[in-house]
Amino acid sequence: MSGNNAMKITTIIRFILIGIIVLLIGALSGWYFYLSSRNAAHGSSASIGGLGAALSFNGSGGSTQHNQQIASGITTASTAAASSASSSSPLWEVDPAPVAGMGFLSGSSTQLVYIERANGYVFNADPATHGNGRVTNTLMPKIYRAYVSGDGAILERAIDDSGTITTFLGSVATATATSSGSATLSGIYLQPNLLQVALNTKNNALFYLAANSKGGVDGFIQSWNGTKATKIFSSVVGSWNVSYLADGRIILLESPQDGIPGYAYTLSSNGSLNPLLASGVPGLTILPQSGGKDLVYGSADGTSVSLFTLATTSPVVTTLQTVADKCVWMPGISMIVYCAVPVSAPQENFLSQWYQGIAHTADNWWKIDLSDGQEALVYSPGSGGASLDVQNPVMDPTGTYIAFQNSVDGSLWVLNVTMTQ
């Protein structure tokens, strides 16, 4: 009898163990299939950010904002492109995300190259078709300022965690219409803490200012490949804004301040400064013309701002209350300049407050013809339109499009001036 009982107990235990094993196998199998289904969902969302997505040149995908919308199902690339291209508005919001800088490429077709601030990615946009695509996948976070030359040289400036200003000079080797967003932005880092940098595309050079040991600044010219820099300028005053025109002239502007006289010069190769104006101008801002002698300049006396044109020997005051920073020359030897003009007259100490990001404006676009002094309103967003505080305007080589940033949010816009007139 005891033997039979032992056999029964053993059998029961065996069945229990078998049952436990079966349950464990079933549970593990279920967990495996569950995890597999989650990985599939994660893999499909890897296209957020644009990497690997269908990034045809004429698609709107690729920008941070647009790809987040696509992944969220808000819109599709084709839908977005179609709606933008069919718009009859001369104004196009290229990228609502903050942009560090942009420029038009030289060539037969109009291409706008820009750099997003968050990631340093390079994008290529077509103002005619409203197409937009990412070109590079070289991550460079927190780009504060970027510049693009006519032949595709790209300057990206950032501030690292230690507060050091970094300057990267690169180029995208090949950016074709079928770019998939996987190009590499190759280049070199220039010396740290450059105060001001300006590119020149004609002679493949750049000019920069760096602090010297005497408490002032030195100015250097060097080639784009980073070969030895040559010092051509030195000053105890450290507040300068520089530009390097396509005609080879280096322009130095004493950094403006409302109500205080400022001066502007052409810097010669021997370091001498040749005045652009015969005397100081309060709160001077300037817009020199590459290849020409005409000049547009602004004055900010602390209570108001004025804009002047200088085509002959005597300056002419315009009716437009704006600063030269909001203006852009029509390319070529023209006497046409476009200016963004605040709808409401700027308040006192506007210039410094605008530079500090405290004051913002809502602008209309005006056109000035220096040959006869005629001023014309060319575009107004209207009461229900976008409120744009125009910053860093640039014009394409054909004189058709003006690209600019909205200082309020850093977004990138393009205005077709031929549609407005």
Partner 1 sequence: MMKLRAILSSLLLFSMPVVAFAQSDSSPFLSSTAPDLEITATPQNPGANTPVSLSLGSSALDLADSSITWYQNGKALAQGTGVTAATVTTGALGSRLNITAAVTAPDGTQEQAQTTIIPTQIDLLFDGNTYVPPFYQGRALPSAGTMIRAQALAYFKRADGTLVPPSQISYTWKEGGSVVGTASGTGRSSAFLPAPSLYGSTVLEVDAASLDNSFTGSASIIIPAAPVQLVLYQDHPLYGIVYDNAIVSGASIAQSQATFAVVPYFAQARSPNDPNLAYTWSVNGSSVSSSAQDPSEITLNAQNSSGQAAVSVDITHATNIFLSAQGSWSISLGGVGAFGGSALQSTRSTQSGNLFNVGQ
Interface region with partner 1, contact rule CB under 8 A, candidates 85-93, 261-269, 304-312, 334-342: 261-269
Cα–Cα distance for residue pair 250/288, rounded to 1 Å: 10
Instruction: Phi first, then psi: give them for residue 181, nearest 5 degrees.
Output: 80, 15
44 is a site residue for partner 1 (CB under 8 A):
no
293 is a site residue for partner 1 (CB under 8 A):
no
Question: For residue 260, how many other CB atoms are within 10 A of its CB?
Answer: 17
Residues in CB range of 329: below 8 A, 6 or more apart: 287, 289, 290, 296, 336, 337, 395
- Give least dist CB 278 to partner 1, A: 5
Cα–Cα distance for residue pair 414/409, rounded to 1 Å: 15
Instruction: Phi first, then psi: give them for residue 393, nearest 5 degrees.
Output: -70, 140
238 is a site residue for partner 1 (CB under 8 A):
yes
Q: Which is nearer to partner 1, 334 or 353 (CB)?
A: 353
94 is a site residue for partner 1 (CB under 8 A):
no
40 is a site residue for partner 1 (CB under 8 A):
no
- Give least dist CB 124 to partner 1, A: 22
Binding pattern for the stretch 188-227 against partner 1, x by CB under 8 A and - elsewhere: ---------------------------xx-----------
235 is a site residue for partner 1 (CB under 8 A):
yes
DSSP state of 229: P
DSSP state of 77: H
Q: DSSP per residue over 187-212, as a string? A: EEE--S--SEEEEETTTTEEEEEEE-
- Give least dist CB 309 to partner 1, A: 17
**Residue 231 near residue 207, CB atoms below 8 Å:** no
Binding pattern for the stretch 157-186 against partner 1, x by CB under 8 A and - elsewhere: xxx---x-x---------------------
Q: Which residue has the tokens 């291209």?
A: 85
Q: Which is nearer to partner 1, 29 or 268 (CB)?
A: 268
Q: Which is nearer to partner 1, 138 or 257 (CB)?
A: 257
Q: Which is nearer to partner 1, 284 or 378 (CB)?
A: 284
Restricting to residues 316-375, name those near partner 1 by CB under 8 A: 325, 351-352, 355-358, 360
- Give least dist CB 106 to partner 1, A: 26
Residues in CB range of 401: below 8 A, 6 or more apart: 104, 110, 112, 127, 395, 414, 415, 416, 417
Cα–Cα distance for residue pair 355/6, rounded to 1 Å: 93
Q: Which is nearer to partner 1, 358 or 377 (CB)?
A: 358
Cα–Cα distance for residue pair 94/307, rounded to 1 Å: 29
Alpha helix stretches (DSSP H) within 72-175: 77-85
272 is a site residue for partner 1 (CB under 8 A):
yes
- Give least dist CB 294 to partner 1, A: 18
- Give least dist CB 153 to partner 1, A: 19
73 is a site residue for partner 1 (CB under 8 A):
no
Instruction: Indicate which single residue of 37, 279, 374, 383 sits in contact with partner 1 (rule: CB under 8 A).
Output: 279
Interface region with partner 1, contact rule CB under 8 A, candidates 103-111, 147-155, 257-265, 393-401: 257-265
Q: DSSP per residue over 254-304, as a string? A: EPPBTTBEE-EEEEPTTS-EEESSSS-EET-EEEE-TTS--EEEEEE-SS-
69 is a site residue for partner 1 (CB under 8 A):
no
E-only strand ranges, 127-268: 131-134, 143-148, 153-159, 165-172, 185-189, 196-200, 205-211, 217-223, 230-235, 240-244, 250-254, 261-262, 264-267
Q: Which is nearer to partner 1, 45 or 193 (CB)?
A: 193
- 371, two tokens: 């040959």
Integer-rounded Cα radius of gyration of the chain: 29
Cα–Cα separations (whole angstroms), residue 202 to 45, 205, 245, 290:
44, 8, 9, 11
Instruction: Indicate which single residue of 343, 348, 409, 418 sits in contact with partner 1 (rule: CB under 8 A).
Output: 409
- Give least dist CB 252 to partner 1, A: 10
Interface region with partner 1, contact rule CB under 8 A, candidates 55-63, 78-86, 112-120, 220-228: 112-120
Instruction: Indicate which single residue of 254, 294, 363, 396 sits in contact with partner 1 (rule: CB under 8 A).
Output: 254
Nearest 10 degrees: Cα torsion 268, 272, 277, 280: 140
Return residues touching partner 1 (CB under 8 A).
98, 117-119, 141-142, 144-145, 157-159, 163, 165, 215-216, 235-239, 241, 254-257, 260-263, 272-273, 275, 278-280, 313, 325, 351-352, 355-358, 360, 391, 407-410
